[in-house]
Structure 1
Amino acid sequence: MIGQPSKLFNDSHIRLWNDSFYELKYILAKTEATEYISTHITRPMFFHLYGEHGVQMWRNIWQDQNITIVTGEGSRFDLIPELFDNIKSSKVIYTKAKNAFSDIDNLINKLEVDDGDLILVSLGPTASILANEMAKRGKWILDVGHLAASYKNVFDGGKMPEALDIRKK
């Protein structure tokens, strides 16, 4: 799947899309994609639009699943109960908090032998590349990015994800 900012949610990324389309059109032309997903599904806009129904949609994905989380050491990603108290089990694979791409081969090796049902990744731009690589290897993997922080922003009055420190304090 190819994700892009969605006009459905807001217009703030239209300039970015316009500025980058010249370079992206050659990549997109080589894909068989006919539909695109919204990159905003892990953002506050999603929860503003769908509310509790959006929470339930996410929860349905990992209901009773054994999940593996891949994130940076000291990451602000959190398995908050409001989203994740319905998983069967979880384990975490930590990597570098910054420049995680330099550790991608190690992560791929670890995930190839992982026996979890679902892999959730919160690792910045590296997550997209890792998700693509692992999907090619038959793994069920989702880049959940700012999901927990977005939930906290909308339902608990927390800061926008970008306003948070990269690492927990």
Structure 2
Amino acid sequence: MTQRLNYFQQSPELSRKLGELGELLHKTTLEAPIRELVEIRASQINGCAFCVDMHVKMAKLHGERELRLHHVAIWRESPLFSPRERAALAWAEVLTRLPADGVPDDLYEHVLEHYSAQELSDLTFLVGLINSWNRLSVAFRSVPGSLDRLFGLDKANLE
């Protein structure tokens, strides 16, 4: 894969603002494992190789078990995820795919059983953010692993 252009270089202020939003999301009450699972799942759906690669490595560095990382794609069938994680993954999927008739009420109510209104708002911003990064990386063909050293992801020992 050859990168088309480097959007960080072409739009540095906009890229920095997305990064700042990500930093703010790390300060919310959303647990790091849930954030990583959501980022991986949305990236899988969007076919964003760069972001799947990055977030798998980040999750590994944060102590995520490898089997759970393999099971993100099959989370509905896997016994490895908590009800709270499942709700977040379902929310990420519906917002990433956005059905023509919108988000179903039953899913919204189900997610609210596991998240406060504030957490659900934060989770929704997280899904929006990763979808933005996915669209940039897919459009411009960001090369998986190309920023590993910069972000310290080479320490994940996943090659």
**Higher Rg of the two aligned structures:** 1
| The two structures share one fold, judged by TM-score above 0.5 | no
TM range (shorter): 0.3 to 0.5
Question: Whose strand proportion is higher, 1 or 2?
Answer: 1
